[in-house]
Amino acid sequence: MNKKVINIVHLYARDMNIYGDMGNVLVIKRRLEKYGFTPLITEYNPGDNFPSEIDIVIGGGGQDSGQSKIQDDLIKIGPKLKKLAQNGVPMLMICGLYQLFGKFFKTSSGEIIKGIGLLDIETYGKSERLIGNIITNSREFGDIIGYENHSGQTYLNSPVEPLGSVILGAGNNTDDGSEGARYKNVIGTYLHGSLLPKNYKIADFLIEKAVLNRYGTFEKIAIDDSIADKARQNAKKRPR
Amino acid sequence: MSKQLVTIIGKAVKTVARLRGGGSALPGLVVEHIDPNFISKTLSHLPMGVVVISGTNGKTTTTKMVVELLESQGLKVFTNRTGSNFTRGVAAALLGEIDIRGNLHADIAVLELDEAHAVHFVDKIAPRYSLILNVMRDQLDRFGEVDKTASLLQHIALSTTKTVVLNREDTLIAKISDNLSKKEVRFFGLNQSLRSLFPNDDEFHSTKPTTKSKIKADVVLTSFSNNLATYEFDNKSITTKLKINGIYNVFNSAAALTLVRAILKDKIDYDKLIGTLSKIKPAFGRGESLDVYGQPLELILVKNPSGFRLGLKSFQTDEHAVMIAINDNYADGRDMSWLWDVDFSSLKTIKVSQVSGTRAYDMALRLQYDDVETDFIDTNLKKSLNNFLNVNIHVPKRIYCTYTAMLTIRKSLAKITNVKRIIK
């Protein structure tokens, strides 16, 4: 193989992929190809050998049964993921795995589900489900447009920063108008729907960090994103 | 209020609603309001009871098949054929069928019910038979999660007094039988060689190979190609031509056969049964074919990843011009993430003529990432449809569309071709 390889790990592809999370993996893959790299995707499921070469980690949302299947395994590989994050490996965690990358999830019945504490965030299960189109704004990525569907409400502690501030919708919780989390090169968010196709700047951020980590330089080639831009404009006009 | 009076008021509202060009839900709503027990009182007298059919994909066509198969055996069947699969839709359908005294002259009722509404319905009227087709990630923004939907379906099974028919190949559905030890349970299934065509929800989202089920099925679909389907039951093999298309419809025909066998037991004339099966046409929007300027136009309803994926697999040929219309109104589901769970690469060789609907650009973006070319993108559905018809005037056409997009398209097509009136 003459092209440069970038290793993508799709975390718990089988049990945590409920809301079109495949779309996020696909966007990373296709854009890497356009930038001249060879993406190698590894689906990691509970009990698998943890891959030794990792450049990007992507994880999605799951329903309760999916979360209970992966929980023990996630705690087991937690230290490895933390070390990768400390070393600047870019990661994108959506919804369910965003919550479990935090310290804990306290269900509405008071049960504590332990997270790996990679992000200093805590989540509380509520009876209200926060559902609908959402638009947030970030200084780094501009408007971030997507769809949220969660009943857990998340609160951030420093040094974790929000990914964006909510313009339309709910976001992390019903109190502070923040959405998602940023720490090192790790991004957590409630936006599925899928996030990366319409928010390709985030995809390019993850790609650039991964390439810089492995190869030291990254030359960006122009990609025609005019349809994505139209989809963004159009989605902004849709009701909640 | 007397049954007769409720009937008269209901029928009057129905007539007025029809004159005003309205849908069928209003009269049902009125009747439900003035007599909440209207449906249960009317249906409780049926000699062979009530059948409920539910699941994510294929309810309407399966219900149509069951009704026509039972009719082939000489039964008088009541059904909610308007496709209004809510309780008030059932009430409205009843109003059209009962006599002025409020009596329904039928042997059996076969009802298609939406998962969420079925739960309330079965609490009022326990069905004698139920058929649970499948559970897929459909409109998650409305029901929450797939496990929740499965538990709704289990509730229907638990409320059934006689026989429950379940899909052996759908893990979540087959599992329902664990809790039905006191009831008769029958399964419909697939030959192992067809399994890959019908991924269940888990298989759909993973590359894990399928394992063979140990449960014995009453009717097994063993092969399907070129509109010829082969079923196995009673240790015999029967092959027949089918008019229904779409492999999911064909699998559900095995479900319909299992249910009819459970209801009629040994009192079946199989020549008539299979003869009728071969002539059944798909229900509205489930692969129906219309004639537009002398060329066929197929409308294929897509509402979730599994349905879309199977639709692409079932209807693929190279000579068709293709249009896709994706709306995100409430009835369609607002969440567009499901488009990313569908593999569109099979459209690469033919490209898509038109992409339309309120979410045309989301759809176009999805196609772009699968390297599928698109000629025109326009959120204006009527304009896009006209363009599609004009540009492709001499070739067969196919439109994949969400529910509300289909309603708009049918309305526009009704001006130029004979489209059967559907009542919403």
Choosing among A15, A16, A18, A135, which should be mutated to test the B contact, i.e. which has the most B CBs within 10 A?
A18
Domains of chain B and CATH, by start: 50-79+107-279 (3.40.1190.10), 286-413 (3.90.190.20)
* DSSP per residue, chain A: --SEEEEEEEETTTTS--SSTHHHHHHHHHHHHHTTEEEEEEEE-TTSPPPS--SEEEE----HHHHHHHHHHHHHHHHHHHHHHHTT--EEEEHHHHHHTSSEEE-TTSPEEE---SS-EEEEEEEEEEEEEEEEEETTTEEEEEEEEEEEEEEE-TT-B-SEEEEES-TT-SSS-EESEEETTEEEES-BSSHHHH-HHHHHHHHHHHHHHHHS---PPP---HHHHHHHHHHHTS--
CA distance B327 to B357: 5
Residue A173: other Cβ atoms inside 10 A: 19
Domains of chain A and CATH, by start: 4-233 (3.40.50.880)
| Section A162-189 average pLDDT | 96
What is the pLDDT, as a whole number, of residue B423? Answer: 38
Task: Indicate whether B141 pLDDT > 50.
Answer: no
Measure A126 CA to nearest chain B CA, in Å. 14
What is the pLDDT, as a whole number, of residue B51? Answer: 96
CB pairs under 8 A between A and B: 98
- The reply to whether A95 belongs to the active site is yes
Task: Indicate whether A206 pLDDT > 50.
Answer: yes
What is the pLDDT, as a whole number, of residue B332? Answer: 85
Choosing among B140, B200, B365, B366, which should be mutated to test the A contact, i.e. which has the most A CBs within 10 A?
B365
- Please name the residue ranges forming H helices in B218-304: 247-264, 270-279
**A178-192, B44-58, B136-150, B227-241: which range is least confident on average?**
B136-150
CA distance B179 to B188: 18
Of the candidates B408, B352, B407, B342, which has an alpha carbon nearest to the alpha carbon of residue B377?
A: B352
pLDDT band for position A175 (cuts 50, 70, 90): very high
Residues in B closer than 8 angstroms to A198, CB to CB, are 362, 365
- The reply to whether A150 belongs to the active site is no
The per-residue pLDDT for range A214-230, each reduced to its tens digit, is 999 999 899 999 999 99
ipTM of the complex: 0.95
Q: What percent of chain A has pLDDT over 70?
A: 98
Nearest CA in chain A to B203: A14
B146 with A227: Cβ contact below 8 A = no
CA A41 to chain centre: 16
pLDDT band for position B142 (cuts 50, 70, 90): very low
The per-residue pLDDT for range A10-51, each reduced to its tens digit, is 999 888 877 778 899 999 999 999 999 999 999 999 999 999
